[in-house]
Amino acid sequence: MQLTLPPRLVRYRRAVVLTIHAALLVLAYLAAYAIRFDFALPPRELVVFWETLPYVLAVRLVALELYRLHGGYWRHFSLHDLAHLGLAVSLGSLLLIAARMFPGPLQALPGSVLLLDWLIAIFLLGGVRFAVRYLRESQLPMRPARGKRTLIIGAGEAAEQFLRQALHDERSPMHVVGLADDDPAKLGRTLHGIAVVGPTHRLRELVARHEVALLVIAIPSATGQQTAAVVERCRESEIEFKIIPSLEDLVTGRAQIGQLRDVQIDDLLGRDPVQLDLAQVQQDLSGKSILVTGGAGSIGSELARQIASYRPARLVLFERAESPLYFTHLDVARTNPEVEVIPVIASITNPERLEETFETYRPEYVFHTAAYKHVPMLESNIVEAVWNNVFGTLRVAECAAAHGVTKFILISTDKAINPTSILGATKRIAERIVLELPTLQGCATDFRVVRFGNVLGSDGSVVPLFKRQIAAGGPLRVTHPEVTRYFMTIPESVQLVLEAAALPEAAGRISILEMGQPVRVLELAEQLIRLSGLEPYRDIAIEFTGLRPGEKLTEELVGSGEVTVPTSIDKIRIVQRNGADGTLVEEGLERLLAALAGGGDRDVINVISALVPEYVPWHDGSEVAAQPAVHLERRAKELYALPRGVLPRPTPITRALQRPAPV
């Protein structure tokens, strides 16, 4: 049922509301007099009533106008609106009390009448508004039930907001018939007239009893383990179920409470999400000129979106992939029109473009996310992996140092710890470059590293791959039944990067996230199949293919020679720096560069092993026999004779870098 004005009166809505207010105020004033004199007004008081009525009515209407109450939407009347109404009526009463101090008709007005009039006016003006809202929202028998019969799981704040929105929206496809909650104190109670009908462990019974066709999970603060348990009960009920956005999405504004979606695998992570210190990050990023390399990748694009929300002066997206850069730039620029967002198509191995970009845009912060990252592919493309991940990082870092960048944040990976892959080894060398290389340590730039585990939903990660395999009817291919990985969502990983960039104690250190317990990839695959409404091993087969080149059975967060200490931010730790010889890093890079020039994969792996002693190559050791040091030194000397390029502060390494990228 909906209370609306006839079409002819819509254009006169304000006049209609004003008339209703005037009538209610007159009624309230008359009732106050009647109650004060036991409904038998003496003739003298009746004269005072008529003489003072115009003044009381005028003052009250002006007070309501000051609080803009003649134009409100009554059908959405809330406690906040009631507070405004109370303030408006109270203001009118104070003005009338003040007027009694001066000669005039109001001097004869009894104070008790003013008090009663204050109470009754609030009651009538507020009551008629709540009545309109009730008539609109109430599920009376005269209001036909529309939409799917829906049971909301949860009876907390999020469930209340969702239920209120569902009741308000006449186009809602849901007809809410009850709520389910495991808190015994809530059982039998009602929320907006809808009862809490039972706990979640009786979900199948509740679904059958109330003929429910849709379940809505409305517990955004639940942990992954709790959500997984609820999802399993929803699956057992054998009806459709949805979930409201996560608490993280609601807080950051990426989603609204009423935007239902399917349950996703990141909802089931068995750990609490990272909480971002918004004030610290805001202070750190606001008004800065910021460069993000790999700005259109999975991490880089989300990093760009979150950085833009903190109002930097300029955001430069440095990316070699044209189409992803185009769409990322459109998205970030559209949602943040006050931020100057600049797309730059270029490779981090191109020194001229790097120099031009740094010279033109003068970034104060650099977030270096650009890297080749696919483990098996890099095992068969070693030269390109080293050229991009190692020497591309060196070029960006030296360019940042030469142009006085305040902070440089390198995005690393847990695969850099005791690596068995080219990816892990090259990222470990990149870590050593920014934290140990003498030419960088001697500059004013604050170099930092951030490590995290596998990112759910990133390009080429296991979850999108599994989803494609499910869509094709299977089978899902898992490398090993016992393989485990640390997982985090893309927003979580970006939060860690931003926190690490802002933490004072993280300067010159490696920051890592306390990621809880590793997840078995097999269990991840089984959950994805179930979330698709299918049964693993029955509807979708799972095959084991064996570990691929470069892969490990388990990943680690901290190396054997590393010690971590807590920080001021919960769940973030930093690695204490061990004594490192930067000169050996520089010499190793010279040898690595010489190996790239013509030594082949075996030479490259040999030099990588010297730079990263904990590296255990996947390749057969007989194929990577050590090459004589003099052989590598001779190649280095040949390269050093090349003409200098445009990079400032040339060292033997940067001079040698002035050559075309290997084909």
Residue with more model confidence, 435 or 570: 435
Q: Region 337-349: what's the mean pLDDT?
A: 95
Determine if the pTM surpasses 0.75. no
pLDDT score, position 124:
92
Query: How many helices (H) and strands (E) are present in the chain, helices listed first?
Result: 25, 21
Omega before residue 475 within 30° of 0, cis: yes
Stretch among 213-217, 224-228, 362-366, 380-384 having the lowest mean pLDDT: 224-228
> Which residues, in sequence order, are CB contacts of 588 under 8 Å at separation 6+?
429, 607, 610, 611
Q: Which residue has the higher pLDDT, 460 or 589?
A: 589
Task: Give strand pairing partners of 484.
Answer: 520
The per-residue pLDDT for range 301-335, each reduced to its tens digit, is: 999 999 999 999 999 999 999 999 999 999 999 99
Q: How far apart are CA 608 and CA 615, in angstroms?
A: 8
- Name, in order, each residue with C-beta under 8 angstroms of 263's C-beta and a sequence gap of 6 or more: 217, 227, 231, 241, 242, 243, 531
Above 50 in pLDDT, residue 661?
Answer: no
- pLDDT class of 138 with cuts at 50, 70, 90: low
Tokens of 56: 């009381």
Q: What is the residue whose two structure tokens read 């890099």?
A: 378
Amino acid identity, position 406: T
108-112, 167-171, 383-387: which is most confident: 383-387
Nearest to 389 by CA among 655, 608, 98: 608
Dist. CA 383–CA 67, nearest whole Å: 71
pLDDT grade, residue 23 (50/70/90)? Answer: very high
Spatial CB neighbours of 521, under 8 Å, sequence gap ≥ 6: 462, 478, 479, 480, 483, 484, 485
pLDDT band at residue 121 using 50, 70 and 90 as cut-offs: very high
Determine the pLDDT at residue 460.
64
| Tens of pLDDT, residues 77-101 | 777 788 888 999 999 999 999 998 8
pLDDT level of residue 31 (50, 70, 90 thresholds): very high
- Whether residue 415 is predicted with pLDDT greater than 50 in this model: the reply is yes
DSSP 36-76: HTTT---HHHHHHHHHHHHHHHHHHHHHHHHTTTTS--GGG
Q: For residue 474, is pLDDT > 90?
A: no
Is the model's pLDDT at 142 over the cut of 50? no
Q: How confident is the model at residue 277 (pLDDT cuts 50, 70, 90)?
A: low
- The residue with greater pLDDT, 13 or 563, is 563
Q: What is the mean pLDDT of residues 210-217?
A: 90
Domains identified in the chain and CATH numbers: 7-137 (no CATH), 148-263 (3.40.50.720), 278-454+488-513+561-575 (3.40.50.720), 582-656 (no CATH)
> Is the pLDDT reported for residue 635 higher than 80?
no
Residue 139 in this model has a pLDDT that exceeds 80: no
Mean per-residue pLDDT, 118-141: 78
pLDDT tens digits, one per residue of 491-508: 778 887 898 888 888 888
pLDDT of 354 higher than 60: yes
What is the torsional sign of CA 45, 51, 52, 53?
Answer: positive
Mean pLDDT, rounded, of the chain? 82
